[in-house]
Structure formats: C-alpha cells, structure tokens
Amino acid sequence: MAISSPDYDEKDFIAVGGADESMVSTTTRLHPARKKRRNRCVCISVAISTIVVVVAFSACLALFVNKKSGSTKKEEAAPSAMAFCAATTFKDECSQALNGSSAYNSSIPDWVSKLDPAVRYPVMLVLDSAGSLTNLVQIVDDFVAKYNRTSDGTVSLLLEAAVSCNESLHDSAQMLNETARLLAAGDVDEAMATLSSVRTWNTDCADDLYEVLYNISGGGVRGVVDNLTLSVNVTAAEAVKYAEYAAMQLSNALDVGGNVPSQEGQGWFEVLNRQLLARRALADTAAAIETKPDATVSRDGAGNFGSVQEAINQAPSMRKSKRYVIHVTSGVYKEKITVPRDKWLITLVGDGDATVLTYDSYAKRAGGTARSASVTVLGRGFIATKLKIMNTAEPQEVVQQAVALRISGGMGVAMAAVVDCTIVANQDTLYAHNGWQYYRHVRIYGTVDYIFGNAAAVFEDCELISKRQSGKDNTITAQGRTSKGEKTGFVFRHCKVDVEKDNLVPVSLGRPQPYRRVYFGRPWHPYALVVFMNCYIGNVQPEGWMPWYKGNKATNTEDCSFYEYSNTGPGADTSKRVSWSKKLAPAEAAKYTAERFIEAPTWLPRLGVSYRTD
C-alpha cells in the first residue's frame, strides 16, 4: 500500500563500511530538497554502540571479582587467540590486535595484561579500535587547523563536517574516560547510558563526514578514497580508513563479548576501585528545586540580566552540589540560547507560557539540523520548567528542519528534565539527542518527526499536538536506535495524542487546511524503539506507523520495535496496525516505566522532579 511519506531530510543516511563501492548505497531520495541523513548505519556508530555490550560485560565480571586473594575456584580453560578470532566477523583484524601486529594498538595497560584471556581478548579489540579513533581525532584536528581559512568550496564542505567531528570526537573521549571510572565504581547502568551517548555523538561525526564525501564524489565515497589527488581527499580517505578499521574491531568485540565467562580472584579490580570519582554529578543535589533564584532575567531592567544567555554564561562551571536557578520573567526573548557543557545543574524557571524563548533559525541557514535549535542544552542535570520554547521559522520548502529544543549529553549522560513547558515548532521540534531525559506535563507541537533523536526518554502526562499542513502527513516520532544493545528509545505514558478538536480544521499561513493523516512515527534507524502506553489516542491513522522511505522503498521495518499497550480513545484500535508493530503483554510493558527505562530513582529525585510510579 502506498503511503504518502514526509519529506526526506538530514536524518536519512547511507551505509558505508565495506571494502568496495558496492557497499555504498546510492539510492535516490524521494524528496531531494530536504536533507536528513541517508539511511546509513555508519559503521563507526554501530561499532561504538558495541562498547556497551563489551565493556558492560567486563564491568560485570569485575564486580564478581573475589576480593580475597588466593581464590580456590578452578578457572575454566581459556581459548587460544586463533580459536577466539574464529568466532569473529573480521578474523584478520582480530588476529592483528591479539598478536600485536596492529598498526593502531597502543600499549596495553598492566591491568589488561593481567586479565584472563577470555576477558583480555575483547578488551584488546576495544583498545585497538580506540587507537584507530585516536588517529582519526588527530587527522580531524590537523585538517581544521590547516584549512580553517579556505575559500575553496569543496574544502569548505569538508571543513564544516570536520569541525562538527572535532566537537563530537573530543566529547566522546571525555565521556569514555568518565565511563571507565563509572565502570570501576560498578555503575553499569550509567556507564551503558553514557556509552549510548558516545555512540550517538560518533554517529553524528560519521554522518557528517560521509555526507560530504558522498556529495563531492558524485555518490561514490570509494571514488574519493581511490583518487587521492587533493590533500583534502587524502584527509577524507584517512578518516574513512580509521573509522572503518575501528568499526571492524568493535564489530569483532560484539561477536565475542557475550561469550566472556565469569572470573574470580583477579585483585587488580580492587586497585581500580580506589580511583572512584563522585558517582554522579548530581549526587549532592538538594531533593527539591530551590525557590529563590540565583539570577533573574527581565526585559524591563528589573532583573540581574537582560538576556537568558548572559545569565547562563555567568553561572558557575562544573557545579556539583547545588542547583543554579535562573528565573526568566514574562516576556518574549528572541535569542539563540546554549547551555554549555561545563554548565551543570542549571534550572531555567519561567512564568508559564508568558515566558517565551524563541528564535527562527533552520537547518539550511544554521549549517545543520542540530545547529538550528532555539535552545541547545549540553550541560548535565538541566531542568526547564514553566517555559514556552519555540522555533518560529515558517513551514516552507527552504526551511524544513527547525528545532525548538535540543538536549544532548556533553561530558556525560544528559540527565535532563522538562516539566510544565510548551515546545512549539514545525518539523523536528524536539531533538532528544542522547542520554537520560524525562518530560512531564509538556505540550509539544509539530508536523514531521517532531520528536526525534536517540535519547532514552520518557514522556509522562504530555500532550502531542500534530499541526496540519496541506497535502502532507504527520509523523510524531523518528527514533534513532542503531543497535539492539542500546538502551535507548522513546516511551510515552499517560499522554494525550492528537486530541485537540480545534486542530481538525486547522489554519496554516492564514488559510484553512484540509485534514492531514497522523502516524505515531517512523523508524529513523533500523532498531528504532517507541512505546505508547496508557495513552489517550485521538486522530491517529488505523495503520498507526509509517515506514522510513528510501526513494519509494519502505525500509527499517524488520528490526524496529514499535509497541502499544493499554491505550484508549478513537485511535487506539490496533486491529489494522502495520504487521511490524506489536501490542505488548503486561509483563513486557512493565519494562517501560521511568523507574526501569531511565533509572529514574537514581537521578530524578536529586533534581527535585517527581515521576509516575503507576
């Protein structure tokens, strides 16, 4: 059945990771004017996600270490390196890492060399890929330094991608360092969430690089690699090589990580345990949001600051023990706002919908969807409450993606909460990028993919309002999970979905518009996970869900997880749903609560945010 699909945009991406051009998808777009990343499960993004499995297994093994020396338990025979690599996809690369002939492997730390081979081998694969990524970081740094003033069009395209990668890769390195400490502390849940964030950042980097290579090579990335006539292409080719190698080794680690047996008696972990960091940046936060603001923003001069950004800039950096509360009084604040990575525990409190944070940027003007956001949050432990956040860019062909709010985990898991707010835009309204995110009593308006990203996000008691446009369909979600190993996805509990009666006869650009079909969402990446449970469903199509289209071909439906449970309302009937969606049983639905899906008890109370326990 042909289904009218939303336009394509930057969330579309191609798969690159093999040794010849045949592995590069060259399918045409359904809507060339719109640029979401092509459907490429970029090997580096899939590869980084495997760290979740491998390192989590290593952490679990470490937690079972017998702290009393001289354990008498008989160890199981460990496999040889050759036998170990036989179970991997890329056997030659595996052997190179384990026999010391890899060009990317850095020196192995003492604690790794003391591990039993069954544990040491997967760790060495991860370290080998890390060495490759370290080289990639250096290439990107050198490229940015060399070409930052160029006027050459082709080089400028790569430079823009490289600058984005520079930010993403360096953030990832910091996050992995934090993850190592979290694992040493036995905090596996947060470590896994952090590693999912790492994967997302690296997906962004790889997508940016491959997008440019694809465009400047006329659709053949491999052609750029094979024809190194310009120094810019040498840089591009090296980036591809290191990314692909890291992907292969991390794929190998994924192949064998599940076979690691439990170990005991390795006292090296006791040493690591003495190097604990504070368990979370939020650990000492007060149990309730402070009512007295540390700063006040006002348009009439009555406050400490006249702009929101100025107040954020003056907040203390890396704050760990007390929230910094900024009261934004009523008024319209047209400014592009960023909460930087080093601004932790920031709370923005408004006066309800009378406090409007707005801007009108969009992807083509800003240099990408992420950069179009009116409000961007990178700092940890962020809270927004009683605000109206908007992107007022009009829905027209040149505008397309225009984000109102983007929340990303810089320097760790995002750990953000949005309560009693309204978020308004058209396409790509809310970018729930990564980390743990919680939304309560939030009204979200949009048109296409208006809640998207790869966070582990729970929405409770929210309202999702699909704005109509003539001749196009609404898709509420576009979730970006690329591996079953990632604990990410969107969960909507006790929400109202497209129930506004006034929206049935919409007005857009001053003119009445006909009825438009509404879908729960479409799978941005192959393993997208979205759950609607205990919600009141209004004007949703009987099919419920829409595929992701490449040209005219429906894709990403084989492995996506689109679930419904105990919903009510005229759109809740599941009898005509697409075959690749599922109605959950009670035991399955129990996994998708704030408590279990985003580990809410470990951090939301420390932000002073309550969540549903029913």
Q: Each residue of 272-293: pLDDT tens digit?
A: 332 322 333 333 333 334 468 9
Look at residue 115 in the predicted model and tell me its pLDDT.
Answer: 65
Q: Describe the strand order of the beta sheet including 443-446 as a list of residue ranges.
A: 331-334, 355-359, 388-391, 422-424, 443-446, 463-466, 496-497, 536-537
Least confident of 160-174, 375-389, 411-425, 469-483: 160-174
CA atoms within 13 A on the CB side of 163: 13
Look at residue 249 in the predicted model and tell me its pLDDT.
Answer: 66
Nearest-CA neighbor of 376 among 332, 430, 417?
A: 430
Least confident of 59-68, 430-439, 456-465, 518-527: 59-68
Look at residue 141 in the predicted model and tell me its pLDDT.
Answer: 79
- For Cα atoms 607, 565, 580, give the angle at the middle one, nearest 5 degrees: 115
Q: What is the mean pLDDT of residues 323-350?
A: 95
Query: Residue ranges of the domains in the chain?
Result: 43-69+80-273, 447-608
Max mean pLDDT among 139-153, 223-237, 548-562 falls in 548-562
pLDDT cut 90: percent of the chain above it = 38
Mind listing the pLDDT tens digit for each residue in 352-411?
Answer: 999 999 999 998 888 788 889 999 999 989 999 999 999 999 876 667 899 999 999 765
Max mean pLDDT among 48-62, 93-107, 138-152, 438-452 falls in 438-452
Q: What is the mean pLDDT of residues 423-450?
A: 95
Instruction: Determine the CATH number of domain 447-608.
Output: 2.160.20.10
Residue 25 has pLDDT above 70, yes or no: no
By the 8 A CB rule, do 523 and 479 touch?
A: yes
Q: What is the mean pLDDT of residues 296-312?
A: 94
Look at residue 507 in the predicted model and tell me its pLDDT.
Answer: 47
CA separation for the pair 63, 611 (Å, rounded): 30
Q: Take residue 91 and report the two structure tokens written for it.
A: 């056997």
Look at residue 374 in the predicted model and tell me its pLDDT.
Answer: 97
Structure confidence at residue 295 as a pLDDT band (50, 70, 90): very high
456 to 4, 42, 211, 398, 444: CA distances (angstroms): 29, 20, 26, 31, 18
DSSP state of 36: B
Q: What is the mean pLDDT of residues 114-132?
A: 71
Instruction: Determine which one of 449, 461, 498, 559 is catalytic.
Output: 449
Q: What is the mean pLDDT of residues 130-146?
A: 75
Residue 584 has pLDDT above 90, yes or no: yes
Residue 294 has pLDDT above 60, yes or no: yes
Look at residue 84 in the predicted model and tell me its pLDDT.
Answer: 82
Beta bridge partners of 377: 339, 407
344 compared with 112, residue with greater pLDDT: 344
Q: Is 523 helix (H, G, I), strand (E, B) or coil?
A: strand
Q: Tell me, yes or no, if 449 is annotated catalytic.
A: yes
Residue 580 has pLDDT above 90, yes or no: yes
Q: What is the mean pLDDT of residues 193-217?
A: 69
